[in-house]
Amino acid sequence: MTRPLEGRVAFVAGASRGIGATIAEALAGAGAAVAVAARSEVEGKLPGTIGAVAQRITDAGGRALPVRCDVTSEESVEDAVARTVAEFGGIDILVANAGVLWMGPVETTPLRRWQLCLDVNTTGVFLVTRAVIPHVRARGGGSLIAVTTTGVTMTDLGANAYWVSKAATERLYLGLANDLKADNIAVNCLSPSRVVLTEGWLVGGGGVEIPPEMIEPPEAMGAAAVLLAQQDAGGITGTIQRSEALAAE
Ligand code: NAP
């Protein structure tokens, strides 16, 4: 098995379950040491903890560090990044995956839901990205990946807090790719091509029935993240990628 990320360090925000957990395990399988970052240290309403994901990685022969991180808190993010650098010596790869879903129509969206989407999906990406940039720059290059959604472009389906928050993140990352070109840092967005039936989707997806042909296995996002994680500014950068389309290229 090839290990293209041997010697690299990845910070995965939102890695206690779902797509983030799959990406963390895929990056570790490709050789990276992985900081498994999220809030859940003990089982709560939803299954999955940072400790359990880190344990799965170490059981499979990889390197992982569970780090508590609330992406909405500047202090928590700074602390998690500092702990990762102290343990692994630097950071080469960021996957800003932490996200919350709210697909309700604008008229019936409570202000706290609107704010939570922006706090986690937009400000959270800003905070983790800002915290890792100096460390990635210090390595002479690396790769930043924000997890977004195909819903951003589906304006014919209307508007909601979730799509708006992800649209802002795409704008953030597309511009940042330009800012960080001279630092040899690739900056891309990645989303599933179809729907991944994660815990978050099942709770927040509003009971929408997904036809079987629209269901994507979580491993597609893992493989796509491994590919994007290998990029620097000389490779794929400043793009919005879809997991299965990227694999097919
Ligand atoms: P999920 O099962 O709900 O997992 C979400 C992850 O985000 C968890 O690890 C959660 O960990 C973390 N998180 C939430 N709030 C956080 C906070 N304040 N600080 C740190 N971590 C936080 O969701 P998912 O379906 O895997 O989605 C992952 C990403 O993919 C999201 O950005 C989502 O928008 C995107 N996406 C998913 C789909 C899909 O089909 N599932 C489609 C398009 C895009 P804790 O609760 O432990 O903090």
Closest CA to 11 of 101, 97, 120: 97
Secondary element (H or E) of residue 81 = helix 74-88
Closest CA to 147 of 86, 90, 212, 193: 193
Q: Which residue, among 57, 92, 58, 98, has the nearest Cα to 77 in the 3D structure?
A: 98
- Beta strands, E only, the chain: 9-13, 33-38, 63-68, 93-96, 142-147, 185-191, 239-242
CA 45 to chain centre: 21
Other beta carbons less than 10 A from residue 61's beta carbon: 8
Residue 206 has what pLDDT? Answer: 60
Nearest to 221 by CA among 52, 2, 14: 14
* Residues of the chain predicted below pLDDT 70: 1, 205-207
- Provide the pLDDT for residue 73: 98
Ligand 1 pocket mutation, candidates 11, 19, 116, 241, criterion most atoms within 8 A of CB: 19
Q: Which of 100, 123, 221 to mutate to test the pocket of ligand 1 (most atoms within 8 A of CB)?
A: 100
Query: Amino acid identity of 244?
Result: E
C-alpha of 53 from chain center: 15
Q: What integer pLDDT is reported at residue 199 of this predicted model?
A: 85
Residue nearest to atom 8 of ligand 1 (CA): 14
pLDDT of residue 75: 98
- pLDDT given for residue 1 in this prediction: 67
Rg (CA), the chain: 17
Confidence (pTM):
0.98
Class of 9-248 per CATH? Answer: alpha beta
Please tell me if the CB atom of residue 198 comes closer than 6 angstroms to any atom of ligand 1.
Answer: yes
Q: Does 162 participate in catalysis according to the annotation?
A: yes
Residue with tokens 């499979």: 60
pLDDT given for residue 52 in this prediction: 98
User: How many Å lie between the centroid of ligand 1 and the Cα of residue 52?
Assistant: 16
- Confidence at residue 176, expressed as pLDDT on a 0 to 100 scale: 98
**pLDDT given at position 209:** 83
- Ligand 1 and 103: CB distance under 6 A: no
Look at residue 125 in the predicted model and tell me its pLDDT: 99
